[in-house]
Amino acid sequence: MAEQNRQIVLVKRPYAAVGDEHFELRVGPVPEPGPGEMLVRVLWLSFDPTQRGWLNDVPSYIPPVQIGEVMRAGAVGQVVASNHAEFAVGDLVQGTFGWQDYLVTDGRGMLRVAKVPSGVPPQAMLGIYGVTGLTAYFGMIDVARVKAGDTVFVSGAAGATGSVAGQIAKLTGARVIGSAGGPEKCAWVRDVAGFDEVIDYRTEDTSARLAAFAPKGLDVYFDNVGGPTLEAALDNLALGARVALCGGIASGYTAEPLPPGPRNYMQLVIKRATMQGFLVLDYVPRFGEGVAQLAQWVAEGKIRYAEDVVEGLELAPVTLNRLFEGKNLGKQLLKVADAPIG
């Protein structure tokens, strides 16, 4: 076991883009677990756009990260010492562990610490079987209520959530259009994820392409982006359409003032459409159902996913920025260490 524990803590709130100057790498002793606690070695970190929002000192669904606190993040780790009745040394576990090498936990938190199922790649618990895959599952099935014959549009289609959401829609018998940035991502969405049509939002007029691909309108829009892409979708809704609001990465989740919008929200009235926001945390009691169904589809080769891996804890701030620079294909992960046991 290493004699020191690295932690990346927030020292200054970013206003716009995140930079190294907003964090500080601190080194201290490895903590020791007390009664009912365990020591976890962090192996993999998850990166999600919502983490940028946690840096803003504003009310949200969970409190913001405080100055001097370790940056919050979903993670997978391995138990290396345990006084906890439910967890043994060597267990692979997932939880909200943060940007650090080691932590002591009693298993409670925003999401309870859970064991990684046997035979599952541990990092997959942060992507396809984690909050991104589950967001796609419950968002498409429960919120968008996708069904056979629907025409579906998914923005952020090369991302961890959008790529899975579109494939779930395909499995129900829907026709799926995706948008992504750049030829490499668009090719992956079409040729690997199996979307029917793909729009390169960087070089094409999204509204015009939607009108061409969906002349009768969109029955479902799964929104990961917001901004102009949301407005383009609203301009192309079918009667009775359902819009599921998952994220708004076009905003950058910064503290900067947002422009007014969507300017064309009256399309919801004209098309008698519904627009609903949701959080995957609403579905915690049903996570087992979602993971089981996703695992079946993956095993059957019906869902494919990509992982974008960066290595080195010190690169965590840069890795978070990759999401907002459009550099990641699939789930953005950072590998901190190999499992020390087994």
Question: Which pLDDT score, from 0 to 100, does residue 252 have?
Answer: 64
Q: What average pLDDT is seen over the chain? A: 95
pLDDT tens, position by position, 95-123 = 999 999 999 999 997 779 999 999 999 99
Q: Is the pLDDT of residue 205 over 80?
A: yes
Phi first, then psi, for residue 195 (nearest 5°) are -65, 155
Distance CA 296, CA 156 (A): 24
Please tell me whether residue 7 adopts helix, strand or coil conformation.
Answer: strand
CATH for 131-282? 3.40.50.720
Fold assignment, 4-127+306-335: Quinone Oxidoreductase; Chain A, domain 1 (3.90.180)
pLDDT tens digits for 125-167?
A: 999 999 999 999 999 999 999 999 999 999 999 999 999 999 9
* DSSP character at residue 99: S
Q: Starting at the edge strand that comes first in sequence, how are the strands of the sheet with 197-200 ordered?
A: 197-200, 175-180, 151-154, 218-223, 237-245, 274-277
pLDDT at 2 over 60: no
**b vs e for 184-222, b when ≥16 Cβ sit within 10 Å of the residue's Cβ?**
ebbebbbebbbbbbbbbbeeeebbebbeebbeebbbbbb
Which amino acid type is present at position 129?
Answer: Y
User: What would the mean pLDDT of 68-73 be, rounded to a whole number?
Assistant: 97
pLDDT attached to residue 254:
73
* Residue 1 pLDDT level (bands cut at 50, 70, 90): very low
d(CA 231, CA 229) in angstroms, rounded, equals 5
Contact 155, 225 (CB under 8 A): yes
Q: Residue ranges per domain, the chain?
A: 4-127+306-335, 131-282
62 pLDDT band, cuts 50/70/90, is confident
CA angle 252, 62, 84 (to 5 degrees): 125
| pLDDT beyond 60 at 336 | yes
| pLDDT at site 233 | 98
User: Whole-angstrom Cα distance, residue 153 to residue 169?
Assistant: 10
pLDDT at 342: 80
Beta bridge pairs of residue 151: 175
- Record the tokens describing residue 249, joined without a space: 């990465």
Paired sense of beta strands 151-154 and 218-223, if any: parallel
